[in-house]
Chains A and B, each alone.
Chain A
């Protein structure tokens, strides 16, 4: 188990940052399982740098509608670090995650999918006040402070947040 965690952390750290044109051609990558300790590992791997963690679902029409928007955002902000977490629950179709992300131009973005069945526990580890609504996004500043919002992103605002982080 410990080895698995270390391997997972290494894997996350080694993951390419959003949007390189070359890797967009590659076969869709499989999403990694998102477990209770995953968010902490992601945060540790990107410590001191701004990070955007976006939770979405194939079953959520509002999420699917803005997915290409996220693709455009990563192309416009190649230095931004985005992590995507698919939060489909029962009846999830993990095989469709990779192709959906690739279609939206997010094929090379670090991608996770809801792990074991105890959704409440995994959600609590993300944010005790997150009620599971999708889309849901957490913005983690370099100093570790967190802003979260539900619903579609305002990409202009997101861009300003990012610009502020690098000042």
Chain B
């Protein structure tokens, strides 16, 4: 372990463990809470948990689900959707798996960009609400602050001055100080994912994130708000609330062994995916998302997986068609204005809209639309709730084959070893 890591381990090492009384009282309320829980459904991993009823029960559940899904198709509760879903599934059936095209020592590389856009009007009311909600307590000046160690007198003085200035800003900020009535900002970041034929790879953000404002005045307003401890809403954290946490599951780096053993039948696939959930509940801003929403996102990951064979891709499309609340639009656009089928889950907030290429069924992008900002909940949502408009999108570029691993180490002029992107020699995937 190097020095940096030793130091890191020391940070906040001495925070107190909860004492026995605190643990005891937490345990009591926890046991209270769970003892009132309704009986759980049976184990969904019969071979592990072993009760001999589990298997028949699981089959019964599967059969029931199949009946429900079939009924939905037969009764045609989504007549327009069903035909469109078949169109997309047909396309998926003809698309070859990408991983088969990899040679020895080659990697698949996928580049994607995440774009978040927000627009907020800072009138008196919004500002008051934001100020009231701003938690400035960490940053407010505190008389009991003690400076020791190697902080110089100038540093101490500089910090004091900055805090005084900051405090004054918070106290004096009014809507009159904010010349731009409405602030529009756009944040764009780019990342790459890569993996070899055995699924060894990774994901990195490229160092070219940009935030652009509608005008210089708007940028100044945003800076003022940030300085005053009111989150301007345009920083990474608030914007990524819209899509980051759900986005973790639509990545292309789905474990290959799991993808390879999935059944290529829509009903069986749905049953399997629903019964083998993510390693932890998918939670966004403190609320669990529904099983349907989870399934939708997992399906996006499957459609993107280079390990998914054509039959599995087609089954995935048909499975999406069976999720309640799914609608297909003949034309939707991703954040780069590329058009395709739009497949959306109408009852989710934010509402995901998957844009699928009409030529080959590949995933062009996913839009996360906030139709009702007032319905957004959670710790990072305070700013979003005041937005006039907010949306986030991820756009995927077609995967490329790279000759060798995309990240390699190099040396700087001063001799330090650094990780950087190798010069890529790429060819497109068919």
Query: Do chains A and B interact in one complex?
Result: no
A interface residues (Cβ-Cβ under 8 A, vs B): none
